[in-house]
Amino acid sequence: MFKQKTIITLAKLLVPLFILLFVMLEAKGIFTDFNWALLELYVDRLTVRRIFFILLLGLAALFPMYFYDEILQRLFRIRVPKKKLLFYSLSANAFSNFIGLGGVAGATLRSYFYKDYLTGSTPYIKIIAKLSLFYLTGLSILSWVVLFTDLHLYDDVKLIKLAVWAVAAYTPLLLGVYFFKSSFWNTKHIKKGFAGELLTVSLLEWLFIIICIWGIARALEVSIPFFVLFPIVIISACAGIASMIPGGIGSFDFVFLIGLESQGVPSELGLLILMFYRLSYYIVPVFIGTPFIMNQFWNNGMPKNSFKM
């Protein structure tokens, strides 16, 4: 018994430290890639108010994903205090975006957060994992909007159409499995009526991402219409997804910059938009959510009401 308690105590110390170290190393890598000379070049556009506005945009872009957790509450038939649920959602979504891996990080954290509210017979891991398949449906739907209209921007980029077609096909294929292969959704907790809600949340999630990037561009005095930026972001996201790189870093950036340059936006300003997008949408939410995750882990095994907010 003493040995078991010692192992648990060590785990409570080491795992939060590991999480913190991982976040710091990943953030350091992103900050290392920042072009600080570029910031100096456009420092006249970076007032404190504008930087604060950009950071708020990144947090606001995460808000639609909160409704995934509202849907999970109804599926599980549980009630989590609103403030705690907000931090559950922020933490899970921030790490899901930051780490990537197809939403595995977010699904893992949600399984960890909700397990104390559920009975042992509830297949919560299976439910969360299967619902995470809907995260890309919004991007898939929006891909159809640009599929036949705006791909000419990338005539010189090989395989870009294939990437967009692949993402566009995702939602029809998923819905086919959802409605016609009932054995795959073999759990009484998942009702087919939730599909519409999940599609709507995912659609709002991706629209908010586009609004976030457009807002950052406007804050940096880059005059590009929303409906011109819209296909650029969608096609870039498809390229990032197809490349299987966490966060789409690399392929997303490359395709995004090509799209902006085709609209007369200098690559330096395109890079600046990307830098602040990474900061506001990926890094800041993770730094906000990390203390909450560490606190939750430290209190794991204690009564579920021991965490007061």
Q: How many Cα atoms occupy the beta-carbon half-sphere of 97 within 13 Å?
A: 27
Q: Is residue 302 part of a domain?
A: no
| pLDDT recorded at residue 266 | 85
Print the domain residue range for 20: 1-33
For residue range 159-201, what is the model confidence (pLDDT) as tens digits?
788 888 999 999 999 988 887 776 666 555 566 678 889 999 9
289 and 274, same structural domain?
Answer: yes
Q: What's the whole-number average pLDDT of the chain?
A: 79
User: What is the rounded distance in angstroms from the CA atom of residue 282 to the CA atom of residue 277?
Assistant: 8
Highest mean pLDDT (candidates 16-30, 43-57, 148-162, 239-253)? 43-57
User: What is the rounded distance in angstroms from the CA atom of residue 64 to the CA atom of residue 274?
Assistant: 21
109 and 53, same structural domain?
Answer: yes
Is 50 exceeded by the pLDDT of residue 4?
no
User: What is the rounded distance in angstroms from the CA atom of residue 103 to the CA atom of residue 124?
Assistant: 16
Cβ contacts of 204 within 8 Å, gap of 6 or more = 64, 67, 138
48 and 29, same structural domain?
Answer: no
Q: Is residue 301 part of a domain?
A: no
Q: CA–CA distance from 286 to each of 51, 152, 281 (Å)?
A: 18, 36, 9
User: What is the rounded distance in angstroms from the CA atom of residue 270 to the CA atom of residue 247?
Assistant: 17
41 and 25, same structural domain?
Answer: no
User: What is the rounded distance in angstroms from the CA atom of residue 300 to the CA atom of residue 11?
Assistant: 11
Q: Is residue 202 part of a domain?
A: yes
Query: Quick one: pLDDT band at residue 303, thresholds 50, 70, 90?
Result: very low
Q: What is the CA radius of gyration of the chain?
A: 21
Quick one: 109 exposed, middle or buried, by C-beta within 10 A (0-12, 13-18, 19+)?
Answer: buried
Q: Is residue 76 part of a domain?
A: yes
User: What does the block give as tokens for 35?
Assistant: 């072009």
User: What is the rounded distance in angstroms from the CA atom of residue 207 to the CA atom of residue 183?
Assistant: 32
| pLDDT recorded at residue 244 | 64
Q: Is residue 113 part of a domain?
A: yes
135 and 260, same structural domain?
Answer: yes
User: What is the rounded distance in angstroms from the CA atom of residue 196 to the CA atom of residue 182?
Assistant: 17
Q: Enter the DSSP assignment of 280.
A: I
For residue range 104-158, what is the model confidence (pLDDT) as tens digits?
778 888 888 888 787 766 777 788 888 888 999 999 999 998 887 766 666 666 6
194 and 109, same structural domain?
Answer: yes
For residue range 221-255, what is the model confidence (pLDDT) as tens digits?
898 999 999 999 999 999 888 776 544 456 788 88
- Burial letters for 233-260: b for 16+ Cβ neighbours within 10 Å, e otherwise? bbbbbbbbbbbeebbbbebbbebbbbbb
72 and 166, same structural domain?
Answer: yes
CA 45 to chain centre: 28
Closest CA to 248 of 126, 101, 105, 132: 101
| pLDDT recorded at residue 243 | 74
17 and 89, same structural domain?
Answer: no
CB contact at 8 A, 162 and 243: no
User: What is the rounded distance in angstroms from the CA atom of residue 222 to the CA atom of residue 292?
Assistant: 36
| pLDDT recorded at residue 56 | 96
144 and 18, same structural domain?
Answer: no
Count of the separate structural domains present in the chain: 2
Q: CA–CA distance from 187 to each of 123, 128, 130, 135, 297 (Å)?
A: 8, 12, 11, 20, 29
Q: CA–CA distance from 117 to each of 9, 89, 151 (Å)?
A: 23, 15, 47
User: What is the rounded distance in angstroms from the CA atom of residue 232 to the CA atom of residue 217?
Assistant: 13
| pLDDT recorded at residue 262 | 87
User: What is the rounded distance in angstroms from the CA atom of residue 90 to the CA atom of residue 59?
Assistant: 9
Q: Is residue 237 part of a domain?
A: yes
User: What does the block give as tokens for 8?
Assistant: 């648990």
Q: Is residue 307 part of a domain?
A: no
Amino acid, single-letter form, for residue 177 = V
69 and 29, same structural domain?
Answer: no
Instruction: List the single range of 1-15, 87-101, 134-148 with lowest mean pLDDT.
Output: 1-15
Query: Quick one: pLDDT band at residue 302, thresholds 50, 70, 90?
Result: very low
Quick one: 70 exposed, middle or buried, by C-beta within 10 A (0-12, 13-18, 19+)?
Answer: middle
57 and 23, same structural domain?
Answer: no
282 and 258, same structural domain?
Answer: yes
Highest mean pLDDT (candidates 22-31, 190-199, 267-276)? 267-276
| pLDDT recorded at residue 290 | 84
Q: Is residue 222 part of a domain?
A: yes
